[in-house]
A and B are shown apart, each in its own frame.
Chain A
Amino acid sequence: MLRFLIKRLIATLPVVVGVAIVVFLILRLAPGDPAAVLAGGTATPETVAEIRQKLGLDAPLLTQFFTWAGLVLHGNLGTSIITHQPVWNLILQRAEPTLSLGATTFVVSIVFAVPLGVLAAWYHQTWVDRVVMIISVLGFSIPAFVVGYLLVYLFAIDLKWLPVQGFANISRGIGPFISYITLPTITLSLFYGALIARITRASILEVLGEDYIRTARAKGLRESTVMTRHALRVAAGPIISIVGIGLAMLISGALITESVFNLPGLGRLTVDAVMSRDYPVIQGLILVLSLVYILINVLVDIAYAVVDPRIRY
């Protein structure tokens, strides 16, 4: 197991390097010039050139890349061109809302979607199954911004139960935290949960045809035990993998949701950085997010081995 983990982590290195190169090149090749943004609309070409030189953006691409890569290797993601703050600090400052939203969505989705998926499979082709499937089709196909604004209109503006937008640090108390995070969580969970519910239902239905389910019933076990201990345990593999893959979509979903609810998170930071062509910030963000994603995939692999004893690394 340990050897597997080390191998897996070593194998991720080329991926990280690849991501770094691609991100760097795409930014440089995309239209738009941070120097021009900084200098403002009325600046002369000379001023823009001067700023560009100051930022080191006039150096050859290769030199620029290695300068940046050298910094990254020392754990330094560089400094924002716009705000002159270290990128690392910017990311840390904005991490909490995003992590909070990610965590609540993750928990809420799994807590609701997995049991719903099990119920749908259990009562296959009855109204229970159909209701769960309709909800999940809707959740999956209605865009987050539509759901988000509908929820805001209903619960914040009309019923006035919850705040319209913004974020409260958990240090301000659990009450305010929950009241602010609820609507964004529901918005995002609807999408993520729909995915999990569908895959749970599908993989349980597949497992239910297996011989050992018949054995479990022949033992005289309750149907609920058959569904959970025998079917769900085996069906957990596909569910875990979709939970892992879905996290990538969760990251992009968080971006939109943060905009809708005006959460000061990494999504907002990304959007702002892209708008102002803040190269170091964009590069740093994408690098960090891809590392997170790789880490999640390693965790998924470990989770496989935990739920299924046939898998041994």
Chain B
Amino acid sequence: MSEPVLQVRALSVDIRGGGDRTSAVANVSFDVAPGEMVCLVGESGSGKSVTASSVMGLLNTANLRLSEGSIKLCGEELVGASKARLRELRGSRMAMVFQEPMTALNPVHRVGDQIAEVLRTHSRGMTRKQIRARVLELMRDVYLPEPERLQYSYPNQLSGGQRQRIVIAMALALKPALIIADEPTTALDVTTQAQILSLLRGLQTRYKTGVLFITHDLGVVAEIADRAIVMQSGRIVEEGPALEVLTRPKHRYTRMLLDALPVAVARPPRFEPDAPIVLAVKDLTKTYDERSLFRKSRSTKAVDGVSFDLRRGEIVGVVGESGSGKSTLARCIARLITVSDGRVEASGSDVAKLPNRSLSGYRRKLQMVFQDPYRSLNPRMTVAQLIGEGMANIGLSQREANERTRRLLDLIGLDHSVTSRYPHQFSGGQRQRICIARALAMEPEILIADEAVSALDVSVQAQVLDLLEDLRSRLNLAVIFITHDLRVAARICDTVAVMHRGKIVEYGRAVDVFAAPQHEYTKQLFAAAPGTDVLGQMVRH
């Protein structure tokens, strides 16, 4: 084998003034060979991003310190190299692709200029004309449509997938020996993710680039990795050819990750088919008008004639990509926004037409859990206040509220002593449990979970899904579960509604939809889910 492009030996990164953990990365060693795709897998806090930043020389030195080890790029030692040399290497010999294409590009510069900047910085000899030509060539390489026109666009005029292509073009500009891709597809829709993954794979083979691909998603690993390195709490726990790691995991942490992974095979419904209907949505439509004084107004249908019934104890999954209207639908049903047309029937009345001031009764019956547990809890309120606020609103006494809060904490599996603590003292999974307790405090009939597990690590995701499942059967809750993740939907839903451009394109029992999708779009969506083949095989084993 030829010399590795990246050689990391005994790398340790300390956390300055670290509390329960003093090192972010401890004694990590691995290689990346030319033309090899190595996946660094782990949950949040496993040290995978810190490892990547160390290689790039971009560690946040305010709280992290590279204490030991050696990092060699094509044989050249990077630890202790001068800032100027590192700067020369960044962008030219090693490049990076980031997670958030929405924020990774500077909003005030044209995308073409942002690619050109790499060339201008690192290759002095190029003329303006040559740079211009190379930018267009790169944009064609990443399959961007109409590069001549697109190069003059600003990032906000492009879609997430297009932006990620720009970032990749930027990384490829000088044909670096090593590309570090830090969760490059996590923020993208599955179909876009599939395109970007195959793009990266293709370019990497063509340019013989070594790629260090960081991800939390074992599906992605199955899809593209040559080799997989599993990290937990700053250490490497397992390493080997990707297929082997996925199909014959040796370490129990790897096995746990694989077990926690929801499998895209649905189970039969677990609710009474003739249970009473608690919510009936009929031809629900939400139109956004763009009013203008001088032009003809335009209107967009975010939700277009959606109908479905929700029975007591049923979990309906609303599945779709970003922009499909699934969140708008949830917000319409919860009446957080006004409904343009159609009916939302709950306990005999049409909620869609109710004025805001008459909604308090409905609000008690329907509660929501949102995506980001880090932002949906007020940081200045204690757990007791967060859970108790709604109860005080509907006139429960302090004693009754405290009583119910304790019962809820039992239900979600948190200790009674946490009531005086603040959200920042909890982990993501715990926070989402608190959000669920807050929602349940009103003793609702219906719970809407809007991407409630999307921001969580798989192992935590599994716990929260189990909790929801458990609550459904114990409290006979009806749940509308909104998600972009098919595997999550398969795991928890009885019924599935697939949304595309504001419409439900497919609706049916989860087992049927997952076993034999009818609509073309659903088929596409399923095909795009990363690692379906490998992981599907695994299940059968």
Do they bind each other?
Answer: yes
| Known contacts A214-B98, A230-B106, then 20 further A-B pairs from the complex at CB < 8 Å, ordered by chain A residue | A211-B103, A211-B104, A212-B104, A212-B105, A212-B107, A214-B104, A215-B104, A215-B167, A219-B91, A219-B117, A220-B88, A220-B92, A220-B121, A221-B121, A230-B109, A233-B109, A308-B107, A309-B108, A309-B154, A310-B156
A220-B89 in contact (CB<8A): yes
Q: Is B87 positioned at the interface, with any CB of A under 8 Å from its CB? A: yes
A212-B106 in contact (CB<8A): yes
Q: Which residues of B contact A222 (CB under 8 A)?
A: 87, 121
Q: Is A90 positioned at the interface, with any CB of B under 8 Å from its CB? A: no
Q: Which of B69-108 contact A (CB under 8 A)?
A: 87-92, 95-96, 98, 100, 103-108
Please indicate which of the listed interface residues A3, A215, A216 has the most CB atoms of chain B within 10 Å of its own CB: A215
B58-A219 in contact (CB<8A): no
As a 0/1 sequence over residues 96 to 131 of chain B, the CB contacts with chain A under 8 angstroms (1 = contact) are 101010011111111000000110011000000000
- What are 29 A-B pairs with beta-carbon distances under 8 A? A3-B294, A210-B103, A211-B98, A212-B106, A214-B58, A215-B98, A215-B170, A217-B58, A218-B58, A218-B90, A218-B95, A218-B96, A219-B90, A219-B95, A219-B117, A219-B170, A220-B88, A220-B92, A229-B109, A230-B106, A230-B109, A233-B106, A233-B109, A234-B107, A308-B107, A308-B108, A309-B154, A309-B156, A310-B108
Given A215-B98, A218-B91, A219-B170; A234-B108 close (CB under 8 Å): yes
Given A3-B294, A230-B106, A308-B107; A220-B154 close (CB under 8 Å): no
- A230-B98 Cα distance, complex, nearest whole Å: 17
Q: Is B56 positioned at the interface, with any CB of A under 8 Å from its CB? A: yes
Please indicate which of the listed interface residues A214, A233, A234 has the most CB atoms of chain B within 10 Å of its own CB: A214
Q: Is A307 positioned at the interface, with any CB of B under 8 Å from its CB? A: yes
How distant is A82 from chain B, measured CB to nearest CB, in Å?
A: 47
Q: Which residues of B contact A220 (CB under 8 A)?
A: 87-92, 118, 121-122
- A216-B58 Cα distance, complex, nearest whole Å: 11
How distant is A87 from chain B, measured CB to nearest CB, in Å?
A: 37
Residues on B facing A (Cβ under 8 Å): 56, 58, 87-92, 95-96, 98, 100, 103-110, 117-118, 121-122, 154, 156, 167, 170, 294
Q: Closest residue to B107 on the A side, CB-wise?
A: A310
B109-A217 in contact (CB<8A): no
Q: Which residues of A contact B87 (CB under 8 A)?
A: 220-222
Q: Which residues of B contact A230 (CB under 8 A)?
A: 106, 109
Q: Which residues of A contact B56 (CB under 8 A)?
A: 218
B95-A215 in contact (CB<8A): no
Total count of chain A residues near the partner, CB < 8 A? 22
How distant is A66 from chain B, measured CB to nearest CB, in Å?
A: 32
How distant is A34 from chain B, measured CB to nearest CB, in Å?
A: 46
- A56-B427 Cα distance, complex, nearest whole Å: 77
A contacts with B: majority SS: helix
Please indicate which of the listed interface residues A217, A220, A234, A309 has the most CB atoms of chain B within 10 Å of its own CB: A220
Q: Which residues of B contact A308 (CB under 8 A)?
A: 107-108
Given A212-B104, A220-B89; A310-B58 close (CB under 8 Å): no
As a 0/1 sequence over residues 291 to 313 of chain A, the CB contacts with chain B under 8 angstroms (1 = contact) are 00000000000000001111000
- A218-B93 Cα distance, complex, nearest whole Å: 11
Q: Which of A166-181 contact B (CB under 8 A)?
A: none
How distant is B143 from chain A, measured CB to nearest CB, in Å?
A: 21
As a 0/1 sequence over residues 203 to 244 of chain A, the CB contacts with chain B under 8 angstroms (1 = contact) are 000000011101111111110010001100110000000000
Q: Which residues of B contact A217 (CB under 8 A)?
A: 58, 90
Q: Closest residue to A213 on the B side, CB-wise?
A: B106
How distant is A10 from chain B, measured CB to nearest CB, in Å?
A: 11
- A116-B495 Cα distance, complex, nearest whole Å: 61
B117-A221 in contact (CB<8A): yes
How distant is B263 from chain A, measured CB to nearest CB, in Å?
A: 33
- A40-B122 Cα distance, complex, nearest whole Å: 79
- A131-B89 Cα distance, complex, nearest whole Å: 34
- A215-B154 Cα distance, complex, nearest whole Å: 16
Q: Which of A219, A221, A229, A309 contacts B107, CB < 8 Å?
A: A309
Q: Closest residue to A125 on the B side, CB-wise?
A: B62
B98-A310 in contact (CB<8A): no
Q: Closest residue to A310 on the B side, CB-wise?
A: B156
- Which 8 residue pairs across A and B have the least CB separation, nearest first? A220-B91, A220-B90, A211-B103, A219-B91, A212-B106, A218-B96, A309-B154, A220-B87
How distant is A307 from chain B, measured CB to nearest CB, in Å?
A: 7
Q: Which residues of A contact B167 (CB under 8 A)?
A: 215
- A52-B167 Cα distance, complex, nearest whole Å: 76
Please indicate which of the listed interface residues A219, A222, A308 has the most CB atoms of chain B within 10 Å of its own CB: A219
- A225-B104 Cα distance, complex, nearest whole Å: 17
How distant is A84 from chain B, measured CB to nearest CB, in Å?
A: 47
Q: Which residues of B contact A212 (CB under 8 A)?
A: 103-107
- A309-B158 Cα distance, complex, nearest whole Å: 13
Given A211-B98, A214-B58, A218-B56; A233-B104 close (CB under 8 Å): no
Q: Which residues of A contact B91 (CB under 8 A)?
A: 218-221
B105-A215 in contact (CB<8A): yes
How distant is B133 from chain A, measured CB to nearest CB, in Å?
A: 20
Q: Which residues of B contact A234 (CB under 8 A)?
A: 106-108
- A220-B56 Cα distance, complex, nearest whole Å: 10
- A234-B105 Cα distance, complex, nearest whole Å: 12
Q: Which residues of B contact A310 (CB under 8 A)?
A: 107-108, 154, 156
How distant is A76 from chain B, measured CB to nearest CB, in Å?
A: 34
Q: Which residues of A contact B110 (CB under 8 A)?
A: 309
Q: Closest residue to A237 on the B side, CB-wise?
A: B108
- A234-B107 Cα distance, complex, nearest whole Å: 8
Q: Closest residue to B110 on the A side, CB-wise?
A: A309
Q: Closest residue to A207 on the B side, CB-wise?
A: B106
Q: Which residues of B contact A214 (CB under 8 A)?
A: 58, 98, 104
Q: Which residues of A contact B107 (CB under 8 A)?
A: 212, 234, 308-310
Q: Which residues of A contact B90 (CB under 8 A)?
A: 217-220
Q: Which of A43-82 contact B (CB under 8 A)?
A: none
Q: Closest residue to A308 on the B side, CB-wise?
A: B108
Q: Which residues of A contact B88 (CB under 8 A)?
A: 220
Q: Closest residue to A3 on the B side, CB-wise?
A: B294
How distant is A70 from chain B, measured CB to nearest CB, in Å?
A: 32
Q: Which residues of B contact A233 (CB under 8 A)?
A: 106, 108-109
Q: Which residues of B contact A3 (CB under 8 A)?
A: 294
Q: Which residues of B contact A216 (CB under 8 A)?
A: 106
Q: Closest residue to B154 on the A side, CB-wise?
A: A309
